[in-house]
Amino acid sequence: MTTIAATASAAAGPTGQASPKRRRRRTWPVVLLLLGPAALLIVVFILAPAVYGAYLSLTNTQLTGFAARDPQFVGVDNYTYLLSNSEFLASLGRTGEFVLYSAIIGQTVLGMTAAVLLARPWVRGKGLVGAAILMPMVVPEVVASLAWASVLSNNSAGTLNRLTGLFGADATDWLQVVPLASVVVVNIWRGIAFAMIMFQAALEDVPGELIEAARMDGATALQIFRFVTLPLIRGPVFLYLLLTTISTIGAFGLVYFLTQGGPGGRTTISAIYIYERALQFSQIGIGSAASMILLALVLVLGLVYVRLAKVEV
Amino acid sequence: MTAVTSRREPSPAADLTAPRRKRRLTSIDVVKRVLGYMLIALLIVFCVVPFAWVVLSAVDANAGPNVQAPSLSLDNFVHFFTDSGTPRLLVNSLVIGVGATALNLVLGLAGGYALARFEFRGRRLFMFGILLVRVVPAPATIVALYLIMVKLELTNTLHGLILVEAVLQLPITLWLLKGTVSAVPIELEEAAWLDGSTRIQAIRRVVLPLVGPGLGAAAMLTFMGVWGDFLTPLVMLQSQELYPLSIGLFRAFSEHNQVDWGLLAASSVVYMAPPAILYVFVRKHLLRSSLGGALKG
């Protein structure tokens, strides 16, 4: 149908009397005028890059040098190269580890802990606790990275080294010795708040009567959480896992700022691999093919998300 | 974790409203509470301690790369605002942030109104499409986006970056404003039409005053997104005089030999202040925007 959405009363209104055909003719110009610019720009700057990237991934385009003049169509060469390239496969593996440890395990466990604790009626100063946990999410990526650069600093006066020094450990250059674990911790730190907010919203919907009934029946707090609360918030938790997985696959700034992919490529997650290949080694074709593989992985997850979210438009 | 609130009353509803009854805590309750507070304390320490260096060094005239007791002074901030390079970073960040937000809101309000008030073919597809687009990781499209920008001769310009940033945040704004406009009863507009207003006049006089809060939330979310963006300016801008704070800080930090730590920390404080302040106002909208805008939080 045409014109005014979602109002039954529109039929009684002044526009309701016009014939559907006339209304349609009047609707399209207005819609194009209002939505057209936004739609066009989204197509040019969001959709076109994805499509153009798919094309580029089938060529040997380079930013500079010989192939920059005259890029050739190379079919799926870039893909076969990547899928047999240990460096790229390792970057995918690192992305998987990064997502698993930081998002799926770390953020979820700590976010749930924070949400459950803050739901306790006896906790004082909830506002302040919440604000403290939210700080890491609110500040810009670059500030977060800079803050952690001082924590992970290699000299003996670095914050973490001072802490481990209390237990008698020697100063460690964390970003050199355990680079991936370091950026995983940083990413957990940044993501606790989002997990907490999601889980708090979910926990609010759990009816208190059910918890009460379980308690009457003599269930321990842990049993209540495991057998009553968790099944009830399974949906939101799953949705959160999907969301955090998708966004963590695209993580770039935090890791790039702290390690630039090093040392020796040990923190080169896929996003950094793409950036290096395409914009530093100027191999646009290979970088684009890597992008497409990453994009395919995320789009599958995204479709699941859109289906599960059951949004109403 | 606990079994603390006194739940003697038979009716749970009464229980919720009644003030908690004072009851002697059992020793198990005490242990649980102590453990709970210890966990909370650990979480707070983990979340807040990394900021120690930024905050302490910003007010330390002799700041180094590590946490140390500051010699309280505002020298670093004075440097930040008087140095040759750093005020430029702030100005660029503001120009990009404000410009992109303004453009984003104009496009978003017009589009959101169309999506809310007109039923047309492809509307649902469009809404789902821009929702799905939000899951695409920026690093996966940045290369092709860069080449498109090169062809449009928009790389290494502030207006090019403003345009891209405004559009990248557009899907959230459209979702948010579509919902906001839908919440304004159409009857109000119809009344204005009957009084002789044109459609545009009705939007200006009736809709615009009522969508203020949604518009404000969209503005703040867009501004925060653009302000904090690192990858897009990193790829799009090459000239130092165009750098926003994010890139300026990154470059300053990467020059390993001659880092002015105090200045770096002061810049960070200046850089993190706007989103930290804005955050207070957009707290309840942040969940929706983080991915998709479709979550019923």
Q: How many CB atoms are closer than 10 A to CB A201?
A: 17
Rounded to an integer, what distance in angstroms lies between the CA atom of residue A59 and that of residue A73? 4
Single residue among B58, B76, B94 that ends a domain in this structure: B76
Does B241 lie in the same domain as B152? yes
Q: What is the pLDDT of residue B6?
A: 43
Structural domain span for residue B30 = 12-76
Distance from CA of A33 to the nearest CA of B (A): 8
Write the pLDDT tens digit of every residue in B195-242.
Answer: 888 888 888 888 888 888 888 888 988 999 999 999 999 999 999 899
In a domain? residue B206: yes
Q: How far apart are CA A216 and CA A211, in angstroms?
A: 9
Asked whether residue B42 carries a pLDDT value surpassing 90, the answer given is yes
CATH of domain A81-309: 1.10.3720.10
Q: How close A169 comes to chain B (CA, Å)?
A: 18
Instruction: Check residue A17 and give its pLDDT.
Output: 42
Same domain, yes or no: B133 and B264: yes
Domain presence at residue B261: yes
What pLDDT does A256 receive?
Answer: 92
**Which tokens go with A271?**
């996003």
Q: Which residue has the higher pLDDT, B157 or B85?
A: B157
Query: Could you tell me the sign of the dihedral formed by the alpha carbons of A225, A202, B32, B40, in that order?
Result: positive
Closest to A87 (Cα-Cα) out of A249, A250, A276: A276
Does some domain include residue B142?
yes
Residues of B in Cβ contact (< 8 Å) with A35? 110-111, 114-115, 126
Q: Most A CBs within 10 Å: which of B135, B172, B279, as the mutation test of the A interface?
A: B135
Which pLDDT band, with edges at 50, 70 and 90, does A311 fall under?
low
The answer to whether the Cβ–Cβ distance between B167 and A42 falls below 8 Å is yes
Q: Is the pLDDT of residue A255 over 90?
A: yes
The alpha carbon of residue B96 is apart from the nearest alpha carbon of chain A, in Å, by: 15
Q: Is there a single domain that holds both residue B71 and residue B96? A: no
Do B178 and B243 lie in one domain? The reply is yes
Say which DSSP state B156 is in.
T
| Mean pLDDT computed over B84-100 | 92
Q: Considering the domain boundaries, does residue B5 fall inside one?
A: no
Task: Write the CA distances from A12 to A6, A16, B187, integer angstroms.
Answer: 13, 6, 10
Q: Which amino acid is it at B203? A: I
Contacts of B83 (CB under 8 A, 6+ apart): B263
Q: Do both B37 and B112 map to the same domain?
A: no
Instruction: Report helix, strand or coil for B239.
Output: coil
**Count: domains in chain B:** 2
How is chain A split into domains, by residue range? 81-309
Nearest to B224 by CA among B272, B287, B270: B272
DSSP-H helix ranges across chain B? 12-17, 27-48, 51-58, 75-82, 86-117, 123-133, 138-151, 158-168, 170-182, 186-194, 199-202, 208-210, 212-228, 231-236, 245-254, 261-290
SS3 of residue B72 by DSSP: strand
- A2-49 residue pLDDT tens: 333 443 333 333 444 444 444 455 678 888 888 999 999 999 999 999
Answer yes or no: do B30 and B109 share one domain.
no
Cβ–Cβ < 8 Å for A117, A123: yes
B23 and B86 share one domain: no
Whether residue B29 lies inside any domain: the answer is yes
Asked if the Cβ–Cβ distance from A129 to B246 is below 8 Å, we say no
